[in-house]
């Protein structure tokens, strides 16, 4: 430990921090987000885990974030090292954070190998959940003892019950604990679980405890302040009613469920009272489909005098009344995701957006006073060619002609399409880097307007995401190598010279091939995914 950098001295003043007696609480869990405080505190998952676990009298939960390689991770609440806890619980939302999670273990003096930890009863049990755990646990099997496959509220009661059992306290016998956990639906224990593991989910959102007592930053350094600032996170729905063929969330969080209006009002009144904030961020992957959206906004904005932010929404579901309410609530930027700009590619990705509706509603937003736009587009969609790249530029110029004025009032985020497990695109090849770069250069050439800013995800980093998304246990072994040498792009690039790794990324997978993640049952049959995949090629047959 002596060779490590000292923990960064940062003063954080927050509301609603749980304080429990560490010595007198039987079960102590570190809720770890393998990225910075700034990023992690925007995650509703962190708030849910922290709140839910601390509602148990016999459980203490503290938060821990990644501060950089070589910095010993300490919890926010008591500055304790992770070795002091019984359980380390990682929330995995992004594949790139896998290396950070392993680094947090290394810098805590905890063996990253689960097999080595199993022989040492003094080190914590390491668990992981989140969308990446559902996506494909295989790359992390070497490091994680237990995976939550599904939504935490369904699993935490049973998990805590097992760990509070007499067997745990008497000897902390990890093998027996793992064997017992492996018998629970929705839990995957490498080396113990048998055959298929079924994803579990909350069937009625109105019947689960919601984190109304959210930790809210009061005084924190500017570089630590969460993106949303001091805000209450209000989840109105889960899942998505749409079936965009590239979307991991759309296929792994079904069915679409939403809170009742009365439940949301009860949540928000308690939430603003306990947090003292006057800003609400509405969390939903399909906010425009919430049946009481206008009524909710009216109550929040006009009834409770709150500022409201909606991170993104389908542009075709916007209308004059909704745009007016959003502007009244303080929304300055409308974020939309057309993904593509032509009807044939819309059919490929199964996104049913009327192009004329996009322009009409961008005008509606502008007339309501929302003077900035952010748009997301994909590159590397099947059968995409230069005409489709030009179509993106044409769409942007047509939107500008509506009347958007000012420097960088229209921001574009351009991202290579990542073939994700459990989606119809899971078999697709990732385009060659040269092809993606050519398309990026074309877009830059076609969109030269000071009103527009373009941001591209580096295709090399996108390629790493593909590798981690579609990888097996062998890929997981690379994570430790990278974690020890620094999570740099140059390290990954040196590894990606191997033909076996390039095949995972750049070759189209065989639909008859057994895939590493096939043992996860998301609720959508593989036969359905194959039919959807075959439609992609049928459009251009």
* Dist CA 251 CA 523 (whole Å): 9
pLDDT tens digits along 501-520 = 999 999 999 999 999 999 99
The reported pLDDT for the residue numbered 2 is 38
In a domain, 308, yes or no: no
The reported pLDDT for the residue numbered 172 is 60
Percent of the chain at pLDDT > 90 equals 90
Range of the domain at 503: 331-541
In a domain, 34, yes or no: yes
- In the numeric block, the tokens 């690039």 are attached to 493
| SS3 (DSSP) at 15 | strand
Burial of residue 126 (CB within 10 Å: 0-12, 13-18, 19+) is buried
**11 pLDDT tier (thresholds 50, 70, 90):** confident
In a domain, 144, yes or no: yes
User: Which residues in 117-184 belong to E strands, given as ranges?
Assistant: 125-129, 146-148
Which own/partner contact pairs does 483-486 have at CB distance under 8 Å and 24+ positions apart? 483/69, 483/99, 483/102, 483/103, 483/106, 483/112, 484/106, 486/69
Smallest CA-to-CA distance from 423 within 530, 348, 346 is with: 530
| SS3 (DSSP) at 26 | coil
pLDDT tens digits along 396-409 = 999 999 999 999 99
What six digits make up the tokens of 459?
């295709």
8 Å CB contact between 29 and 59: yes
How many C-beta atoms surround the C-beta of residue 346 within 10 A? 19
Q: Which residues contact 13 (CB under 8 A, 6 or more apart)?
A: 217, 218, 219, 220
Whether 541 has a pLDDT exceeding 90, the answer reads: no
Whether 230 has a pLDDT exceeding 80, the answer reads: yes
The reported pLDDT for the residue numbered 315 is 87
In a domain, 440, yes or no: yes
The reported pLDDT for the residue numbered 539 is 78
Q: Which residues contact 485 (CB under 8 A, 6 or more apart)?
A: 491
Q: Which residues contact 254 (CB under 8 A, 6 or more apart)?
A: 239, 240, 522, 523, 524
Residue 244: phi and psi, rounded to 5, are -60, 130
Q: Which helix (H) or strand (E) holds 534?
A: helix 526-538
Window from 158-162, 220-224, 253-257 with minimum mean pLDDT: 220-224
Segment 368-393 mean pLDDT: 97
Polymer length of the chain:
541
Strands 452-456 and 307-309: unpaired
Smallest CA-to-CA distance from 344 within 381, 310, 298 is with: 381
Question: Domain end: 198, 220, 238, which one?
Answer: 198
In the chain, how many domains are there? 2
* Dist CA 504 CA 360 (whole Å): 42
Whether 166 has a pLDDT exceeding 80, the answer reads: no
pLDDT tens digits along 261-305 = 999 999 999 999 999 999 999 999 999 999 999 999 999 999 999
In a domain, 442, yes or no: yes
Window from 179-183, 219-223, 263-267 with minimum mean pLDDT: 219-223
The reported pLDDT for the residue numbered 1 is 38
* Dist CA 458 CA 415 (whole Å): 8
pLDDT tens digits along 111-154 = 999 999 988 888 999 999 999 999 999 999 999 999 999 999 99
* Dist CA 472 CA 119 (whole Å): 24
In a domain, 378, yes or no: yes
The reported pLDDT for the residue numbered 165 is 85
**CA angle 336-265-315, nearest 5°?**
15
pLDDT tens digits along 249-263 = 999 999 999 999 999
Question: Domain end: 158, 176, 198, which one?
Answer: 198
Whether 167 has a pLDDT exceeding 90, the answer reads: no
Percent of the chain at pLDDT > 70 equals 97
Whether 5 has a pLDDT exceeding 60, the answer reads: no
* Dist CA 496 CA 500 (whole Å): 9
* Dist CA 39 CA 50 (whole Å): 16
Smallest CA-to-CA distance from 145 within 117, 186, 122, 170 is with: 117
Q: How confident is the prediction for the chain on average, in pLDDT?
A: 94
* CATH classification of the domain holding 126: 3.40.50
Question: Domain end: 168, 198, 228, which one?
Answer: 198
What six digits make up the tokens of 191?
């080396």
In a domain, 286, yes or no: no
* CATH classification of the domain holding 371: 3.30.750.200
- In the numeric block, the tokens 């057994």 are attached to 514
């Amino acid at each position: 430990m002596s060779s490590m950098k000292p923990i960064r001295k940062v003063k954080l003043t927050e509301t609603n921090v749980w304080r429990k007696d560490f010595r007198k609480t039987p079960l102590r869990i570190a809720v770890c987000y393998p990225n910075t405080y700034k990023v992690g505190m925007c995650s509703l998952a962190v708030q849910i885990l922290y709140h839910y676990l601390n509602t148990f009298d016999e459980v203490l939960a503290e938060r821990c974030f990644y501060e950089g390689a070589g910095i010993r991770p300490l919890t926010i609440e008591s500055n304790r090292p992770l070795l002091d806890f019984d359980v380390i619980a990682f929330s995995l939302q992004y594949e790139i954070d896998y290396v950070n999670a392993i680094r947090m273990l290394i810098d805590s003096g905890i063996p990253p190998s689960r097999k080595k930890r199993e022989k040492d009863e003094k080190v914590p049990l390491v668990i992981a959940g989140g969308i990446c755990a559902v996506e494909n646990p295989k790359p992390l099997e070497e490091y994680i003892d237990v995976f939550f496959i599904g939504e935490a509220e369904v699993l935490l009661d049973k998990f805590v019950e097992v760990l509070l059992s007499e067997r745990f306290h008497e000897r902390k016998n990890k093998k027996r604990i793992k064997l017992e956990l492996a018998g629970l639906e929705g839990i995957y224990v490498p080396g113990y679980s048998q055959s298929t593991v079924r994803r579990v989910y909350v069937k009625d959102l109105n019947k689960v405890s919601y984190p109304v007592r959210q930790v809210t930053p009061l005084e924190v350094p500017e570089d630590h302040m969460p993106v949303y600032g001091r805000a209450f996170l209000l989840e109105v729905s889960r899942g998505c009613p749409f079936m965009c063929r590239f979307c991991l969330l759309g296929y792994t969080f079904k069915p679409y469920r939403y809170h009742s209006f009365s439940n949301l009002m009860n949540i928000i009144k308690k939430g603003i009272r306990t947090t003292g904030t006057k800003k609400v961020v509405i969390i939903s992957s399909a906010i425009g489909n919430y049946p009481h959206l206008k009524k909710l906004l009216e109550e929040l904005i006009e009834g409770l005098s709150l500022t409201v932010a909606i991170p993104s929404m389908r542009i075709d579901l916007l209308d004059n009344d909704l745009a007016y309410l959003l502007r009244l609530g303080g929304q300055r930027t409308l974020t939309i995701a057309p993904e593509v700009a032509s009807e044939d590619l819309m059919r490929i990705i199964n996104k049913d957006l009327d192009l004329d509706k996009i322009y009409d509603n961008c005008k509606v937003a502008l007339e309501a006073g929302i003077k900035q736009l952010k748009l997301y587009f994909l590159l590397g969609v099947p059968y995409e060619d230069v005409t489709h790249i030009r179509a993106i530029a044409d769409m942007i110029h047509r939107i500008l002609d509506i009347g958007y004025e000012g420097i960088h009032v229209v921001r574009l985020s351009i991202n290579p399409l990542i073939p994700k497990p459990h989606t119809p695109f899971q078999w697709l090849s990732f385009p060659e880097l040269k092809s993606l770069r050519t398309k990026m250069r074309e877009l830059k050439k076609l969109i030269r307007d000071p009103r527009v800013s373009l941001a591209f995800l580096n295709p090399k980093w996108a390629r790493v995401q593909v590798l981690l998304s579609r990888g097996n246990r062998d890929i997981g072994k690379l994570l430790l190598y990278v974690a020890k040498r620094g999570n740099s792009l140059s390290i990954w690039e040196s590894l990606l010279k191997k033909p076996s790794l390039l095949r995972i990324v750049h070759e189209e997978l065989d639909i008859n091939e057994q895939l590493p993640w096939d043992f996860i049952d998301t609720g959508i049959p593989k036969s359905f995914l194959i039919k959807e995949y075959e439609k992609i090629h049928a459009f251009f047959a």
